[in-house]
Amino acid sequence: MNIKPKYPLMFLFIFLATIFAAKVYAGSIDTTTVKNVDIERYLGRWYEVARFPHSFEKGLERVTAEYSIRPDGKIRVVNSGFHPDGKPSRAEGKAYIPNPADSSRLKVSFFWFFYGDYFILELDEKNYNWALVGSNNDSFLWILSRTPEMDEKVYAELLEKAKKRGYDLSKLIKVKQK
């Protein structure tokens, strides 16, 4: 028995439109990263000022990320925070730079060999006091600072930069650091 779709061209059109829409959607944010990142200067403690919501950080306050070099040359990543009841949360992972010529695009893993993008989109290149970090899609965004509180003017400027890149800032959560 030979069954033919009733509308083969319609199915083809829907398939191609879905692929095209996915490509357009994937390109809807600007993932251009900063030109040069001195990883040695980037290492150390960063405070999470704001983020997009994710299950792995749900409800966490006083969140920090600590970066250091591991004996194997990769970057040790330790994310820490506290639940509202005061219970601590800690996750340790690793990161590496896939292309040494582009140190602003890292790969980070907290689970086996599954790596995600860590793109340094904006950076205080003079003092390394703040950073805007994202990935290859619009689901991840963090505003980081070397201090628990960020100057409101700098924060507003980073929000504007993120908005110009195409991020939906209505999803942004400001992280309690006190």
142-178 tens-digit pLDDT: 999 999 999 999 999 999 999 999 999 999 999 999 8
SS3 6: coil
Is 133 in contact with 119 (CB distance < 8 Å)? yes
Say what the pLDDT of residue 164 is: 96
Where does 39-174 sit in CATH, by number? 2.40.128.20
Percentage of the chain exceeding pLDDT 90: 76
- Domain segments of the chain: what residues? 39-174
Hey, CA dihedral for 122, 151, 45, 39, is it positive or negative? positive
The answer to whether residue 11 scores a pLDDT higher than 80 is: no
> Predicted confidence band at 4 (pLDDT cuts at 50, 70, 90)?
very low
Q: CA-CA distance, 53 to 59, in Å (whole number)?
A: 9
Say what the pLDDT of residue 27 is: 52
